[in-house]
Amino acid sequence: MKRDVLTISGKKDGDIELPNVFETEVNRTLIHKAYINLESHGFQKHSTKPTAGMEVVADSNDPPTGRGVARIAKIKGGGGGRAGQAGEVASTRGGRQAHPPKANKVIYKKLNKKENKLALCSALAATTSKELVENRGHKVEGIESLPLIISDDIEKISKTSELIKIIEDLKITQDTDRLKNRKRRTGKVALRGRVSKVGKSALFVVSKSDNISKAAASIPGIDVCDAKNLSVLNLAPGGTLIRLTVFTKKAIEEIAEIKSRHLELMVTLK
């Protein structure tokens, strides 16, 4: 499977043979599972204070019956404040929660290494399908084939204005402009300043992102990722296939070094 290599001005500069990773069968279910599991690794544990609502002296009658009053715990005291009122237990004013969230709850979902690698290979293979990219909502009119392969010169770009010019030459501007027409949100999110979401446009996969990541920081929807850190989280936002992706030549060489059992079998069958 060959793809044209483009210069930063969008002109053809030879071609490159894509590695076997890009011929992996696309498995939507596996990619979604990998995304859900990997996303949980960034969750922050949450809990209430263990003694919240219980820092009062409140007891129920002992024995609890035969007094002609409710059995619920009453706050002790000689008068004033909340003495005599129900408290401490759930369903009372200022009482504890019935089932509060606890920090010791396991929210980290594990994923088999081979399964994770197969999901990554499957997501990479999906980037070659123009149909899948269009169905995801990306605008790719005028782009002959996917994924886009660009020369390594783009890794030296450090100015946003220069990167915007490259995006125009690669015909990706139509996709970034798509994000400007997003519907404004109303309700609580708007009151809290989150009037609109920033969608996802192109993903640049490079060998070294030190310079280009600074240039792309202020361009809505454009993300940059090192090939060594590439994940299903980058390639399938929300767990749904797939994303408009641009690779550099060095990034393709690093991706070619991915080793997996299914890739060995593919080579054997060939």
Q: What is the pLDDT of residues 140-151, one digit of tens each?
A: 999 988 999 999
Cα 167–Cα 201–Cα 148 angle in degrees, nearest 5: 55
Please tell me the predicted confidence (pLDDT) of residue 135.
Answer: 93
CA quadruple 210, 214, 215, 216: dihedral sign: positive
Quick one: pLDDT at residue 269? 65
In this structure, the answer to whether residues 129 and 96 fall within a common structural domain is: no
**Which pairs count as long-range contacts for 70-75, CB under 8 Å and 24+ apart, including other chains?**
none
Is residue 13 within 8 A of residue 151, CB to CB? The reply is yes
Residue 39, domain member (yes or no)? no
Arithmetic mean of pLDDT, 43-55:
93
- CATH number for the domain spanning 169: value is 3.40.1370.10
Q: To the nearest whole percent, how much of the chain has pLDDT over 70?
A: 99
Q: Is residue 36 part of a domain?
A: no
Mean model confidence pLDDT for the chain = 92
Q: How many C-beta neighbours within 10 Å does residue 2 have?
A: 10
Query: Which amino acid is located at 155 in the chain?
Result: E
**Amino acid identity at 61:** N
Write the single-letter amino acid at 63: P
Q: What is the pLDDT of residue 248?
A: 96
264 and 175 in a common domain: yes
Are 92 and 165 found together in one domain?
A: no
Is residue 122 located within the same domain as residue 254?
A: yes
Check: pTM over 0.75? Answer yes or no: yes
Q: What pLDDT shows up at residue 123?
A: 96
Q: How far apart are CA 8 and CA 206, in angstroms?
A: 13
Find all residues with CB under 8 Å of 223, minimum gap 6, and list them: 200, 202, 203, 204, 216, 234
With respect to residue 37, please indicate whether it lies within any of the assigned structural domains.
Answer: no
pLDDT at 196: 87
Its sign, for the CA torsion 42, 47, 49, 51, is: negative
Instruction: Examine the domain organization and report whether 80 and 188 are in the same domain.
Output: no
Q: How confident is the model at residue 197 (pLDDT cuts 50, 70, 90)?
A: confident
Which residue segment(s) compose the domain that 76 sits in?
Answer: 44-51+59-106
Q: Which two structure tokens, joined as six digits, stand for 127?
A: 């980037």
- Residue 48 binned pLDDT confidence (cut-offs 50, 70, 90): very high
Is the domain of 214 the same as that of 175?
yes
Q: Residue 160 gets which letter from DSSP? A: H
| Residue 270 predicted with pLDDT over 70 | no
Q: Kindly report, residue by residue over 206-244, the tens digit of the pLDDT.
A: 999 889 999 999 999 999 999 999 999 999 999 998 899
Cβ-based neighbour number of residue 163 at 10 Å: 24
Indicate whether 73 and 195 sit together in one domain: no
Q: For the residues 18-34, what does the mean pLDDT come to? A: 94
For residues 132 and 196, state if they share a domain: yes
Structure confidence by residue, pLDDT tens digits, 95-133: 999 999 999 999 999 999 999 999 999 999 999 999 999
Q: Give the SS3 label for residue 12.
A: strand
Distance CA 119, CA 140 (A): 25
186 and 84 share one domain: no
Number of domain units in the chain: 2
71 domain-assigned:
yes
Total length of the chain: 270
- Any domain includes 86: yes
* Residue 178 forms part of a structural domain: yes
